Structure 1
Amino acid sequence: MKFTGLAAFVVLAGLAAGSVSALAADAENTMVITLKDGDVTVALRPDLAPKHVAQIKKLVREHAYDNVAFHRVIDGFMAQTGDVKFGNMKKGFDPNRAGTGGSDLPDLPAEFTTKAHFVRGVVGMARAQDPNSANSQFFIMFAPAPPLDGQYTIVGEVESGMDAVDKIKKGDDAQNGAVADPDRMIKVRIAADK
């Protein structure tokens, strides 16, 4: 396949920037999140964070993320979800504890990288103060946040559906983004599983 002029420049520029979309994730490493306003397609990055991606895929395949709330959403920053212990809005939802739980799987050692950066659409793993405490929670960036680079594990990037992410109900700034009556991930699947 030959590229000419501008097309070759665009492809090379995308690869140089570390763009996930330029890498075109395969179906086995594509996560599809159904939100109230449409599907969000996420290219997972096992090349950056193999242990984190494996854990996310395991939880997706167990349907653990279905009906889990976006418990913390800060306008202009990020939308956080994935608390499968206290965030499931159909079973066991506890708005006072959502964001404090994880899953029954073990916490993960940090897989920080310098190859990718926290920009709009990047998906990162949430954690406590301990860098090795990520478990099931993740967040989707609304905007770049360079201070997160090298401090949080990047697991993927939104390939399509950021318009639906932008419509996720925002939280109260005075409450660090806590959301009353939050939106949720209706269903989450790995594209290969159809």
Structure 2
Amino acid sequence: MAPSKDRQRKMARAKYDRQMARRAARERRRRRIQAGVGAGVAVVLIAVGVAWLGGVFDSKPDDPTAADVCAWTPQSAESNPDLKDVGTPPTSGLPTSGTEAMTVTTNQGDPIVVDLDLTSAPCSAASLRYLASKNFYDNTECYEITTEGALHCGDPSGTGQGGPTYSFYDENVPPAPAPSASATPDAAPLYPTGTVALTGVPPGTNGSQFLIFLKDYDPKDPQYPIVGTVSSGMDTVTKIGKIPTVDNGSGAEVKPKEKVVVQSLTVGAAPAPSASTAS
């Protein structure tokens, strides 16, 4: 009987050893799976953290042109009767890149076409576009050639105090030059001939008034926000620049001796040049 019992004990021991080996194998496999899952989760968490720091999860508008980019500050027509109420431009859906043509037709020659800078001055361009759609500028007089050498337009009242019943902040004002740069003879002027800029009363409260520079202007303290540049019609600009000025009634000789009238101002595709250049 003893050999039989020894054999049984050996068989039981072998069975136990096999069970322990299988259990150990399962435990090693379970640990490997857990380690792999943990490593994967760690990699995902690291990737999410990097993406978060990079701003991937920041909220963004579906269409960047639809963002609210402009604010229009109401102005009271009761306190200033020279203001004209035509509502306010939209605040969203405004183009913020590229250029757009503004065509100023005057009684002085071919239309003056201006490339409005939608990238650097989107709100300024939006205001001009809106006012043009309301025929705000039609049959108004450019009543002044400023001492800086710019044709001053855009005030239907002709007083320098007029405009719409809203204002907006400055955009795209050139930075003041460093003293060393201003002394450099080859430095480009801040407002070259043909530059179109806005002007407000007081400065920084822009409305409808704009300047077309008839000659280079290079101030030490620039204050006019640039909205565009003349792309065609420079012959008309040159002609206007030669008009002599007379006293405007206040002792300042800034009134053009010959009337300069904006017959129409449009923003959009530039029309074909007219064969008629009434003066």
> Normalised by the size of structure 1, how large is the TM-score?
0.70
Q: Which runs of 4+ in 1 moved over 4 A?
A: none
Task: Note the C-alpha offset of 1:180.
Answer: 5.3
Q: Aligned equivalents of 2:221 and 2:230: distance in 1?
A: 17
Determine the structure 1 residue equivalent to 2:193: 120
C-alpha offsets along residues 81-129 of structure 1, whole Å, 9 cap, x if unaligned?
Answer: 0003x14xxxxxxxxxx2221122x11111134489311000011122x
- SS of corresponding position for 1:158: strand
8 Å CA contact retained: 1:74, 1:170? no
- CA-based RMSD of the aligned residues comes to 2.5
Matched-pair contact (CA < 8 Å) for 2:214–2:238: yes
* Counterpart position of 1:72: 144
Alignment of 1:172-191 (within 5 A): 172=246, 175-179=252-256, 182-191=259-268
TM (norm. structure 2) is 0.50
Structure-2 residue corresponding to 1:141? 213
Note closer, same or farther for the CA distance 1:189–1:121 as it changes in structure 2 (3 Å cut): same
Instruction: Summarize the Cα distance change of 1:178–1:193 in structure 2 as closer, same or farther, 3 Å threshold.
Output: closer
Corresponding residue for residue 160 of structure 2: 99
Q: Are 2:269 and 1:192 equivalent residues in the alignment?
A: yes
- Aligned pair count reads 155
Unpaired runs of 5+ residues, structure 1, are: 1-24, 88-97
**1:159, distance to aligned residue in structure 2 (A):** 0.3
User: What is the Cα deviation at residue 188 of structure 1?
Assistant: 1.1
Aligned-residue offset at 1:165: 1.9
Show structure 2 runs of 5+ residues with no match.
1-97, 176-188, 272-279
In the aligned structure 1, how far is the partner of 2:231 from the partner of 2:270?
A: 18
Aligned equivalents of 2:208 and 2:220: distance in 1?
18
Partners of 1:189 and 1:148 lie apart in 2 by 33
Larger helix proportion of the pair? 2
Q: Percent identity between the aligned chains?
A: 27
